[in-house]
Amino acid sequence: MGMTMTQKILAAHAGLDEVKAGQLIEAELDLVLGNDITSPVAIHEMDKMTVKTVFDKNKIALVPDHFVPNKDIKSAEHCKCVREFAMKHDITNYFEVGQMGIEHALLPEQGLTVAGDVIIGADSHTCTYGALGAFSTGVGSTDMAAGMATGKAWFKVPSAIRFVLTGKPSKWVSGKDVILHIIGMIGVDGALYKSMEFTGDGIANLSMDDRFTIANMAIEAGGKNGIFPVDDLTREYLREHSKRPFVEYEADEDAEYEQTITINLADIKPTVAFPHLPENTHTVDEIDDIKIDQVVIGSCTNGRIDDLRCAAEILEGRKVAKGLRVIVIPATQKIYLQAIEEGLVQTFINAGAVVSTPTCGPCLGGYMGILAEGERCVSTTNRNFVGRMGHVNSEIYLASPAVAAASAVTGKISQPSELGL
């Protein structure tokens, strides 16, 4: 029996000719990632080890992004811990305020993640880099510590679900709608510890930003990772952003999948995940009036330039509904600058929104958009658990930038067609 794309990458990094689902392996790592919340725990664990330094200062990325710029004394202490560790071990890829961005947007932009890599990160949305044809997955802080020390990690080889994407999405339908549709279909545990492998001619109709979004939210279906094949668009992205060589892997024709699901992208409608799980999905055309108090456009899921362009196109010449707060957060400094140069930031401000420096901020209930009791938020983030963005009696509705921007204008959950777009 042949191997899936993920299994081939893991076999190569374990020095094996083949691997099978369920097999335990030790694999060489190309990158170990940590942020300002998870890294301090890993650093303290590494201090207990006998190793004197990290396995490779060029293969570790430390990105303070969750509470940065520091929101309080505790977050400042966390960042100080990470900063001192980075200086002590001369970590090449440490990103301080002014250079930092939201980690899962920043690393591909910096060319640190390429096709064929094995990447672990002490953040569950590390699976984002599967958009580039890499195996990437989230781990705990102790696994991050072991990875920084040894350059290796243990894995149980995942089985796989194949998603065959066909057709072309309609106007205002994006990767966020695709992945919400999938999660609504299979549930938050539908791909538990499985590789979500995307294929089909419809992939050609998805931008790189669409693919990053889909891979990013594989974890919301319980997936170990999400992964896309390498095509011309991927190669163009990699050559533009990275000087590193990359390796392309393809699934064998006789690779074994637990399930194959075919999805026609043309059939997908703008989709919203209701509280309090990403699987609680509804298409916008079937939603009655749900008034909202806040809109957040940003995060590692939807803070990229395509997302900001989409939102700005809808907000151009329009105003945010009275009594509504709209917060726009570009995912990196480069994206922020590009949004300024393209006039997107002016559009947001003229519409009545605020624009923040890159930060995870409101996504995890950190700062820059905490919800009070009874408030509702339409957010382009990736989780809507109870209390995720603030009070336990607040509500989060996950949506695409198009739906978020349209909702910002109407003051209720809406799609662009309701504005005549």
How far apart, in whole angstroms, are the C-alpha atoms of residue 189 and residue 346?
41
Q: Which one, of 242, 178, 180, 238, lies nearest residue 205 by Cα?
A: 178
Return the C-alpha torsion angle 282, 309, 409, 273, nearest 10: 20
Contact 297, 405 (CB under 8 A): yes
d(CA 263, CA 416): 23
Counting residues of the chain whose pLDDT is more than 90, the rounded percentage is 96
Q: What stretches of 243-332 show up as alpha helix (H) in DSSP?
A: 299-302, 305-315
pLDDT at 230 exceeding the cut of 90 = yes
Residues in the chain: 421
**pLDDT digit string, tens, across residues 284-296:** 999 989 999 999 9
**Cα dihedral 71, 63, 10, 43 sign:** negative
Domain boundaries of the chain, sorted by first residue: 5-158+200-215+227-247, 273-419
Q: What value does the CA radius of gyration of the chain take, rounded to a whole number of Å?
A: 20
Residue 354 parent element (H or E): strand 354-355
**Which secondary structure element, helix H or strand E, spans residue 377, and what is its range?**
strand 376-379
pLDDT value of residue 221: 97
Residues 6+ apart with CB under 8 A from 191: 161, 218, 221, 222, 223, 224
- Domains 5-158+200-215+227-247 and 273-419 agree in fold: yes
Q: What is the pLDDT of residues 332-375, one digit of tens each?
A: 999 999 999 999 999 999 999 999 999 999 999 999 999 999 99
Please name which of 122, 29, 112, 128 lies closest in space to residue 82, comparing C-alpha atoms: 122
Q: Is the pTM of this model over 0.85?
A: yes
pLDDT in tens, 106-150: 999 999 999 999 999 999 999 999 999 999 999 999 999 999 999
| pLDDT, tens digit, 9 for 90 and up, residues 13-39 | 999 999 999 999 999 999 999 999 999
pLDDT recorded at residue 201: 97
Indicate the residue type of 118.
Answer: V
The fold adopted by the segment(s) 273-419 is: Aconitase; domain 3 (3.30.499)
- Judged against a pLDDT cut of 90, whether residue 421 lies above it is answered with no
Quick check: 393 pLDDT over 90?
yes
pLDDT averaged over the chain? Answer: 96
- Model pLDDT, residue 90: 96
Whole-number pLDDT of residue 1? 78
User: Which pLDDT does position 224 carry in this prediction?
Assistant: 97
**CATH among 3.40.50.20, 3.40.190.10, 3.40.50.620, 3.30.499.10 for 5-158+200-215+227-247:** 3.30.499.10
Distances (CA, A) of 248 to 137, 245, 348: 18, 10, 40
Rounded CA gap, 187 and 165, in Å?
Answer: 18
Q: Rounded to 5 degrees, what are φ and ψ at 374? A: 85, -5
- pLDDT of 300 above 90: yes
| Residue 50 banded pLDDT, cuts 50, 70, 90 | confident
The structure tokens listed for 338 are: 């590009």
pLDDT tier, 6 (very low <50, low <70, confident <90, very high otherwise): very high
Task: For tokens 């990158």, name the residue.
Answer: 31
- Going by C-alpha positions, the residue among 219, 225, 156, 250 that lies closest to residue 385 is 219
Residues in a beta bridge with 2: 255
Q: Would you state the pLDDT for residue 69?
A: 92
Average pLDDT over residues 232-249: 96
Task: Give the single-character DSSP code of 118.
Answer: E
